[in-house]
Amino acid sequence: MSNTLLAEVASRRTFAIISHPDAGKTTITEKVLLHGRAIQSAGTVKGRGSGQHAKSDWMEMEKERGISVTTSVMQFPYNNCLVNLLDTPGHEDFSEDTYRTLTAVDSCLMVIDAAKGVEDRTRKLMEVTRLRDTPIVTFMNKLDRDIRDPMELLDEVETELNILCAPITWPIGCGKLFKGVYHLHRDETILYQTGHGHTIQELRIVKGLDNPELDAAVGSDFAEQLREELELVRGASNEFDKDLFLSGELTPVYFGTALGNFGVDHMLDGLTEWAPAPMPRETSERKVEAGEEKFSGFVFKIQANMDPKHRDRIAFMRIVSGKYTQGMKMKHVRIGKTVNISDAVTFMAGDRERAEEAFAGDIIGLHNHGTIQIGDTFTQGEDLKFTGIPNFAPEMFRRIRLKDPLKQKQLLKGLVQLSEEGAVQVFRPLDTNDLIVGAVGVLQFEVVVARLKSEYNVEAIYEAVNVATARWVYCEDGRKLEEFKRKCSTNLALDGGDNLTYIAPTMVNLNLSMERYPDIQFAKTREH
Ligand code: GDP
């Protein structure tokens, strides 16, 4: 292992933000970029209707809707680290995309609206991070509003999300009376100033708790209250413990306001100091360490038509080990081919640039001409297959039909390409010429029709279809599979990647078939 490689890898921090919609993910992303000097001034946040949009939101659709449909990647330097922030779509209809993005990070920032506490979507996303024990940093947002009692918020996180809380900062007042936070590790109070939401503020700091300057700065009532609360906090809550943090059992908690750009820097300081450098990943063969000399990576997302001028499809790859250099040869393991990669892209603060080199922990974008699928592994020759990047069976189904029947080929091409992204699935029943679209949320159906029109020039409409659920089917025994195919052909279809799928009209039907064919495996997720 070369020292430069190890140093580069050690400086990487790759994380994503998880939160309930409206908790402030977009706003905090923007402030993180501001602190990373990736943007000059904040205020370009997607204002619904303000005409300006955060750098991470670039598709027409999401501009109109004010939600992030796509995942993008932003890289910036901070405190001697190189941070990769992976944006995840906030709307729950896009949760699959989010799940897979979470397989590509080493830590997560959980943003909670402190007026509301733990919300539904946060709960679900935390379940996903649990699958890999991802370390979590917590930011309690919107302190410039009237929030709930901070102690109660920590309690709620602990009991509902089953993770210990270690407050690193503690708030003084809230809403109009928000005065700032006391930093428990630095023993200093950082004072909040309003009106600096768009720029990096000059800090006003009071050292020590018993400093009379604190009384002067926040008022003696607040100072007294802070001293009392801290005694309680120190007695009742957990101290930060790095091992527990790294094993996903404890989260450091910060308080602040993303809108007011206060506290985001404290959180980033903690994240860059404590969050893990690129972690090893499991493959079907062995564990791959980030510092290994040889390059390897996996594709966790495919995005069609990112740049309307070029009509390209980008496969997002998380580098797991080693180093990418422009023009290098990689083995595309699933198809057993060696390819020359000369034009990968990086995502420096949302602008796509050509990557000359990139290291474990980084994300690069490969131009995909239809050969790359989600979950694919690339190596420098070794036959590995990274595991744990699932596709989820859709829960809603519609038949899609053309307005102009002559465009059937275009429609199929569009659907197959869009399904490569993993947000929807397309199913072609073995016995009919229907095309059935499956999605995990209603919004995805709309997105598909809109994109088919704008990107493939195909106008399509939906019809109801009698499908309740789908399962990918497998069987070791070829003869039994053939028999099953013969007897159940009316319920079988091929998905966009030609995988055999059972599409059940009802759950009862599915259960009956599962009983009748015990040798057939009916899988809810598909590992690519
Ligand atoms: P997302 O849906 O999680 O991406 O949330 P946004 O960043 O779009 O924020 C949702 C709303 O909350 C927007 O109107 C933001 O301006 C507002 N918001 C975000 N952070 C704060 C904050 O710290 N204080 C207040 N008062 N509003 C905030």
Q: Indicate the pLDDT class of residue 259, thresholds 50, 70 and 90.
A: very high
Query: What's the pTM value of the predicted model, to 2 decimals?
Result: 0.80
pLDDT digits (tens, 9 = 90+) for 325-342: 989 999 999 989 999 988
Protein residue whose Cα sits closest to atom 6 of ligand 1: 24
Which amino acid residue places its CA nearest to atom 16 of ligand 1? Answer: 259
Strands 136-141 and 107-113: parallel
**Distance from residue 91's CA to the centre of ligand 1 (Å):** 15
Cross-sheet strand order for the sheet of 188-191: 169-172, 180-183, 188-191, 205-207
Show binding-site residues. 19-26, 87-91, 141-144
User: Is the C-beta atom of 258 inside 6 A of ligand 1?
Assistant: yes
Question: Is the pLDDT score of 441 beyond 90?
Answer: no
Cα dihedral 23, 392, 524, 413 sign: positive
* C-alpha of residue 47 to centroid of ligand 1, in Å: 10
- C-alpha separations of 184 from 35, 207, 226, 355 in Å: 22, 11, 12, 40
What pLDDT was estimated at residue 22?
92
Q: How far is the C-alpha of 376 from the C-alpha of 528, rounded, in Å? A: 7
Task: Give the pLDDT of residue 44.
Answer: 41
Ligand 1 nearest-atom number relative to CA 68: 4
What average pLDDT does this structure show over 223-235?
94
Question: How far lies 235's CA from each of 164, 230, 238, 239, in Å?
Answer: 14, 8, 8, 10
Q: How many angstroms does the Cα of residue 113 sit away from the middle of ligand 1?
A: 9
Residue 122's alpha-carbon distances to 282, 321, 480, in angstroms, are: 26, 30, 43
- DSSP at 163: -
Q: For residue 25, how far is its CA from the centre of ligand 1 (angstroms)?
A: 7
Q: Is the CB of 141 under 6 A from ligand 1?
A: yes
pLDDT digits 0-9 by tens, 349-394: 544 455 688 999 999 989 887 788 888 999 999 999 998 877 777 8
Q: Indicate the pairing of strand 345-346 with strand 353-354.
A: antiparallel
Report whether pLDDT(58) > 70: no
Ligand 1 pocket member 26 (CB < 6 A): yes
Two tokens at 431? 């016995």
Cβ neighbours around 509 below 10 Å, total: 15
Confidence band, pLDDT 50/70/90 cuts, at residue 36: confident
Q: Mean of the pLDDT values across residues 230-237? A: 91
Q: What are the φ/ψ torsions at residue 333 (nearest 5 degrees)?
A: -60, -45
Structure tokens at 219: 């008022």
Q: Tokens 């694919």 sit at which residue?
A: 376
**Atom number in ligand 1 closest to CA 30:** 7
What mean pLDDT is reported for the chain? 87
For 504-525, the pLDDT digits (tens) are 999 999 999 999 999 999 988 7
What is the predicted pLDDT for the residue at 43?
44
Of 20-24, 96-100, 169-173, 497-501, the range with the lowest mean pLDDT is: 96-100
Residue 301 has pLDDT above 70, yes or no: yes
